[in-house]
């Protein structure tokens, strides 16, 4: 089915507590759909339609959403006498979604490691359940395959409160820096392409993917950066939620790539 997409959807989203007391962060809605759906739609429009979703905090909410999705997203006929439900249209998203519990307290790196059997021995994509961008994903995969190393991170240029990347002209990452104060301002925008060998850089459940694994991959010359100058927005605060909803309400969907 092509390259699988791993989505880390187990975090609590503590800075969005007003929204996440009753649901996990990836289920916070942009328009009439959770941001998790928008992320998956972004991948699916570019040909990546098999997803492995790493569940944690309130994972049952995400499971329930996808269990109900086929019926809630379609026109139905219901025979009240028998309870028989017939889906009348077939315009549903043709995606395969694996919903895997990776532990309520597991950290990002640990969630990836727990998905080893689902990843198998093949190249896979990975992103977070709270960010949207109009990354050309086919070009991202092609860039990854061309350099032949274990990991590719999409580098973007938003505010300086995120971890920074320093890389050479050909894209090889020299170092990974948390919250840089100086430099070009390229940061980890998510949207990774990874080889199964990256699992060897993850110690266990308490490992932050963004710290030791990425730092060691960079030190070993195994991490390359794919530059993305287009739209990118993470959903970390209520201000971010309002901004993304304002775009949606205005009919602007800048995270969808042109022509798809």
pLDDT in tens, 204-259: 999 999 999 999 999 999 999 999 989 999 998 888 999 999 999 999 899 987 54
**Are 21 and 108 contained in the same domain?**
yes
Q: Do 124 and 149 belong together in one domain?
A: no
Same structural domain for residues 155 and 67? no
Q: 65 lies in a domain?
A: yes
Total count of domains within the chain? 2
Domain of 42 in residue numbering reads as 1-132
Q: 49 and 126 share a domain?
A: yes
**pLDDT at residue 223, rounded to an integer:** 97
Whole-structure pTM value: 0.87
pLDDT, block means (10 residues), the chain with 260 residues: 91 71 90 95 96 96 92 86 83 88 95 95 96 96 97 83 69 70 73 97 96 96 95 90 92 76
206 belongs to a structural domain: yes
Looking at the fold, whether 128 and 159 belong to one and the same domain comes out as: no
Q: What is the pLDDT of residue 73?
A: 80
Q: What is the pLDDT of residue 53?
A: 98
Do 72 and 161 lie in one domain? The reply is: no
Q: Which pLDDT value is given to residue 154?
A: 97
Please give the pLDDT value at position 222.
Answer: 97
Same domain, 51 and 14: yes
Same domain, 164 and 59: no
- Predicted pLDDT at 182: 47
Query: Which residues are registered as beta bridge partners of 78?
Result: 85
C-alpha distances in angstroms, 29 versus 36, 134, 187, 211? 9, 19, 25, 29
Residue at which a domain ends, from 132, 154, 170: 132
Residues 53 and 156 in one domain: no
Look at residue 226 and tell me if it is in a domain: yes
Query: Could you tell me which residues come within 8 angstroms of residue 155 by beta carbon, excluding any fewer than 6 positions away?
Result: 165, 167, 186, 187, 188, 189, 225, 226, 227, 228
Q: Considering 132, 160, 192, which residue would you say is the last residue of a domain? A: 132
Q: Distances from the Cα of 18 to the Cαs of 65, 167, 236, in angstroms? A: 20, 38, 12
- Assigned token pair, 159: 């505010």
Domain CATH number, residue 198: 3.90.550.10
């Amino acid at each position: 089915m092509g390259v699988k997409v791993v989505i880390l959807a187990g975090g609590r989203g503590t800075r969005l507590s007003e929204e996440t007391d009753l649901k996990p962060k990836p289920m916070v809605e942009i328009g009439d759909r959770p941001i998790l759906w928008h992320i998956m739609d972004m991948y699916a429009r570019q040909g990546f339609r098999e997803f492995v979703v790493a569940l944690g905090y309130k994972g049952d909410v995400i499971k329930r959403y996808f269990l109900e999705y086929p019926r809630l997203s379609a026109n139905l006929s219901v025979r009240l006498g028998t309870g028989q439900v017939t889906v009348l249209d077939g315009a549903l998203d043709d995606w395969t979604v694996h919903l895997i519990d990776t532990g309520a307290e597991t950290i990002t790196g640990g969630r990836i490691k727990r998905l080893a059997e689902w990843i198998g021995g093949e190249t896979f994509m990975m992103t977070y359940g709270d960010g949207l961008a109009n990354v050309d994903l086919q070009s991202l995969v092609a860039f990854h395959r061309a350099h032949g190393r274990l990991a590719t991170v999409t580098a973007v240029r938003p505010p300086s409160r995120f971890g920074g990347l320093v890389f050479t002209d050909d894209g090889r990452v020299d170092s990974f820096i948390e919250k840089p104060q100086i430099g070009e301002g390229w940061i980890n925008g998510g949207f990774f392409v990874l080889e199964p060998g990256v699992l060897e850089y993850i110690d266990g459940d308490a490992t932050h993917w963004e710290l030791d694994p990425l730092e060691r991959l960079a030190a070993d010359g195994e991490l390359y950066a794919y530059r993305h100058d287009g739209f990118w927005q993470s959903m970390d605060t209520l201000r971010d939620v309002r901004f993304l909803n304002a775009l949606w309400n205005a009919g602007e969907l800048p995270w969808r790539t042109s022509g798809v």
